[in-house]
Amino acid sequence: MKRALITGITGQDGSFLAELLLDKGYEVWGMARHDSWVRPHCASHLAKRLKMVFGDMSEGIDIATAVIDSQPDEIYNLASQSRPGESWARAAETLLVNGAGAIRLFEAVRHHRPECRVYHASSSEMFGQALESPQDEGTPFNPVNPYAAAKVYAHHMVRIYRGSYKLYIASGLLFNHESERRPIHFLTQKVAYGAACAALGIEDSPDLNETGRPIVQRGKLALGNLDISRDWGYAGDFVEAMWLMLQRDRPDDYVIGTGKLHTLRDLCAAAYGAVGHDWRQSVVSDPALVRPLEPGQLLANPAKARQELGWTPKVAFDEMVRRMVHAQVERLRERAETGA
């Protein structure tokens, strides 16, 4: 039986990946902070099927202990400060977790489990103000926020450790991937939440945005720049690509995305359309929510993943958005019924 260790197992990707590996017969270990594990999270439903080690990705001894205790055949490094917008306010923490945390993991593998295969989560945010479109594995990086800069550092260290110590470390340059498990502070989930509020006639939502105001206030969902565009795919599809990367004879870097571009306006139209509403009656642009610098047109060219991994996304954009909206409708209905 293969054994896998997943850092960041409590998040969206970690939970989908744990399900995938359990279904394939793996013994799955997770690493998370104890306070994150005891609260409700994306992998709560898997708690009895997982083995856990507790620690912090900013602490080298915690990472080494996790590797020694779990003795994994595969490690999936998904732990990160995962919000690009918030990285402006938490720049030092973002570098510590997303950059230095990855290096500490590679060091732990080098010293304690060098035969282990490692997947490292890079990001399309590294392309930033992209110098060409679409982006592939050879596109130059041009980051525009602290999150992306930390990811670029870790990505370069993947190649250095791979070349210098012959470690098996594969890197996935994942474009935006969403699901019904996304936390409410992510942009796509806010849109799904706004559509759910419209469907249920909620004028002032119980949940707040980053400015401390209701996400939906007086029937309006406030967003930032409505003209941004992204390559949005479904998280459940993307974790399969992670697994496929570690099944090859040699490690490499792969761009993972749908190759299809959608604007924020498209996202709003799909979300509100899923509940029979016109988004233009419910969405407004708020300058306070615009990032200091926005990435350019981020569009994946996943040809290498398609050719070498045999990977293609299965869940279409509209279906992904529909799932997210309906999950928010059910969440808000349950909340109203229980008074929580």
User: Pairing relation of β-strands 216-217 and 220-223?
Assistant: antiparallel
- Which run of H or E residues covers position 67? helix 60-70
For 136-181, the pLDDT digits (tens) are: 999 999 998 888 999 999 999 999 999 999 999 999 999 999 999 9
Residues 224-230 have a mean pLDDT of: 90
| The predicted structure's pLDDT at residue 340 | 61
- Alpha carbons 111 and 103: distance in angstroms, whole number: 12
For 29-49, the pLDDT digits (tens) are: 999 999 989 999 999 999 999
For 192-213, the pLDDT digits (tens) are: 999 999 999 999 999 998 778 8
Question: Is there a catalytic annotation at residue 334?
Answer: no
Q: Is the pLDDT of residue 83 over 60?
A: no
Q: Is the CB of residue 190 less than 8 Å from the CB of residue 284?
A: no
- CB burial of residue 201 (10 Å; 0-12, 13-18, 19+): exposed
Q: How far is CA 34 from CA 43, 55, 57, 68, in A?
A: 14, 7, 12, 18
User: Pairing relation of β-strands 253-256 and 117-123?
Assistant: unpaired
Question: Is there a catalytic annotation at residue 285?
Answer: no
Residue 19 pLDDT class (50, 70, 90 cuts) = very high
User: Pairing relation of β-strands 229-230 and 262-263?
Assistant: antiparallel
Q: Is the CB of residue 277 less than 8 Å from the CB of residue 198?
A: yes
∠ CA 44-69-82, nearest 5°, is: 45
Which of 124, 33, 141 shows the shortest CA–CA distance to 79?
A: 33
Q: Which of 74, 122, 125, 178 is catalytic?
A: 125
Which of 9, 112, 21, 29 shows the shortest CA–CA distance to 70?
A: 29
The DSSP bridge partners found for residue 283 are 221
Q: Which of 76, 147, 161, 168 is catalytic?
A: 147
Question: Dihedral of CA 315/321/324/327: which sign?
Answer: negative
- Alpha carbons 273 and 192: distance in angstroms, whole number: 11
- Alpha carbons 317 and 142: distance in angstroms, whole number: 27
| The predicted structure's pLDDT at residue 201 | 96
Classify residue 141 by its DSSP letter. P
- Alpha carbons 267 and 322: distance in angstroms, whole number: 10
Question: Is there a catalytic annotation at residue 147?
Answer: yes
Share of the chain above pLDDT 70, in %: 94
- Alpha carbons 314 and 53: distance in angstroms, whole number: 33
Which of 66, 48, 42 shows the shortest CA–CA distance to 56?
A: 66
Q: Which of 70, 123, 179, 205 is catalytic?
A: 123
| The predicted structure's pLDDT at residue 86 | 58
Residue 58 pLDDT class (50, 70, 90 cuts) = confident
